[in-house]
Structure formats: C-alpha cells, structure tokens
Amino acid sequence: MTVQEKKVISFHYTLTGSGGEELDSTRDREPMSYLHGAGNIIPGLENAMLGRSEGDCFEVTVSPEEAYGVRNEANIQRIPLKHLGKIQRPKPGQVLRLHTQQGPVQVTVIKVGRFNIDVDANHPLAGQELSFEVEITEVRDASDEELSHGHAHGAGGHDHG
Ligand code: ZN
C-alpha cells in the first residue's frame, strides 16, 4: 500500500534545524499518524511522503515556505502590560497564549519594559529550513470517521480526550 489520499500514515521522524541541531524526534515515543491529503502536516513533508510505502526510510529538506512560513516582522508587536490580565511579569523567551479578536495566539516574549512587552507571534520555526529523517511504519486505509473529521485517530493521531 502506498501513501496517497485517504490513507493514514504512521511514521517516525527526527527533525533537524538549519544549524544542524536536533529539534524534535518521535524515536522515544509513538510514531506520529496523519491523514494524507488533509493538510495535517507541513506541505513539504506531506509532498515528500506521496507514493512511498511502509518501511521506507528517507530524508527530506523543506524550505520555510513549505514548512512554517517565512518570518513576518509585522508579527512582532508591542502590547501594554495591563492588557495581559492575569499574566504576571512575563520573562523574555517565555511563551504566552494571548486572546485576540482573531482567537488565541501563541507568542514568544522578546522584551519586557515597564509598561509594555514586545512579543513575536511568528511560529518558532518560521524562516527555518528544516530537515526530516523519516521512517514510514504503517500505511492503512482511513476510516469513514477519520475522513469526515479530516485527521487520523488512534495512537499518534488526534486525541479527542
Ligand atoms: Zn476526530
């Protein structure tokens, strides 16, 4: 069975950043599962999966445009501390979840002043070229439920808790 639309793919990966540093790996946990063609994973990785089979191992390098996007300087914003509500004196590097008119947004604190903080809403991996070392552990048909939800269920997939 090969990777194509309406299949659920389970795979192990090790993710390496452009500086050669390991950023994430599934090697010490369950493989990740996704529904192919549903945009569950970054486009560059999903495209590289197409046509592969169970047991295949490969490496792929993905440009920022095909991963988490390029950095947008407009995503760096200054916010009055008093707008943060219950969050007390955040520190640089801290990740906060802010509630905006567009819904919740995850931001990284860059600088904390007396009255304002500067936050970066870019994805932490935005602007980075990423390398994945992949091993496909399973390719199976998606269930009707998975197809209607648009994601994989079970170990390594979407958990409805
Ligand atoms: Zn679901």
Q: Give residue 94's pLDDT.
A: 93
Could you tell me the distance, in angstroms and rounded to a whole number, from the CA of residue 139 to the centre of ligand 1? 18
Could you tell me the distance, in angstroms and rounded to a whole number, from the CA of residue 34 to the centre of ligand 1? 11
Looking at every residue in the chain, the average pLDDT score rounds to 94
pLDDT tens, residue by residue, 32-59: 999 999 999 999 999 999 999 999 999 9
Overall average pLDDT of the 92-107 stretch:
87
Q: What angle do CA 38, 139, 141 make, to 5 degrees?
A: 65
Distance from C-alpha of 102 to C-alpha of 122, rounded to nearest angstrom: 15
Could you tell me the distance, in angstroms and rounded to a whole number, from the CA of residue 75 to the centre of ligand 1? 31
Could you tell me the distance, in angstroms and rounded to a whole number, from the CA of residue 102 to the centre of ligand 1? 24
Q: Which of 81, 79, 80, 63 is nearest to 126 (CA)?
A: 63
* pTM for the full predicted model: 0.81
Distance from C-alpha of 152 to C-alpha of 159, rounded to nearest angstrom: 9
Could you tell me the distance, in angstroms and rounded to a whole number, from the CA of residue 7 to the centre of ligand 1? 15
CB atoms inside a 10 Å sphere around CB 159: 8
